[in-house]
């Protein structure tokens, strides 16, 4: 089991979304399963059909949550794009105002120099 736990740690380090299930003959490492956020820790013998159904249901829930997260991320990216466009407009407007101010200052300086 130690090799399985080491593999689980490496996999978890690469992806927080990966679903990890341990199937083993002993409960010695159940607590460490929480360290890698394991979905299930099954002890043999396992009723494969029932457990497969549980895993499919959990996978479906995970995919649904991921889809919601992706949709929310897409909304946030769209909002960020709008804000960037608005900021660009404001920067352009500020540049025009600075140019007008510089022109006014130059005219005022010329008039004061007369």
Structural domain boundaries, residue 8? 1-46
Residue 88 lies in a domain: no
Residue 11 lies in a domain: yes
Residue with tokens 């949709």: 71
Cis peptide bond N-terminal to 45, omega within 30? yes
Residue 67 lies in a domain: no
Residue 28 lies in a domain: yes
What pTM was estimated for this model as a whole? Answer: 0.45
Stretch 3-19: mean pLDDT, rounded? 87
Q: State how many domains the chain has.
A: 1
Residue 1 lies in a domain: yes
Task: Assess whether pLDDT exceeds 80 at residue 111.
Answer: yes
Residue 85 lies in a domain: no
Digit-coded pLDDT (tens) for 60-98: 888 888 899 999 999 999 999 999 999 999 999 999 999
Residue 78 lies in a domain: no
Residue 81 lies in a domain: no
Residue with tokens 């101010």: 101
């Amino acid at each position: 089991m130690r090799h399985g736990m080491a593999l689980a740690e490496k996999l978890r380090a690469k992806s927080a979304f990966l679903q990890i299930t341990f199937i083993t003959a002993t409960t010695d490492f159940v607590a460490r399963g929480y360290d890698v956020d394991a979905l299930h820790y099954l002890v043999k013998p396992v009723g494969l059909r029932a457990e497969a159904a549980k895993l499919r249901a959990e996978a479906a829930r995970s995919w649904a949550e991921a889809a919601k997260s992706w949709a929310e991320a897409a909304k946030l990216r769209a909002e960020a794009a709008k804000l960037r466009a608005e900021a660009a407009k404001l920067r352009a407007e500020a540049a025009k105002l600075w140019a007008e101010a510089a022109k006014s200052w130059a005219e005022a300086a010329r008039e004061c120099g007369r």
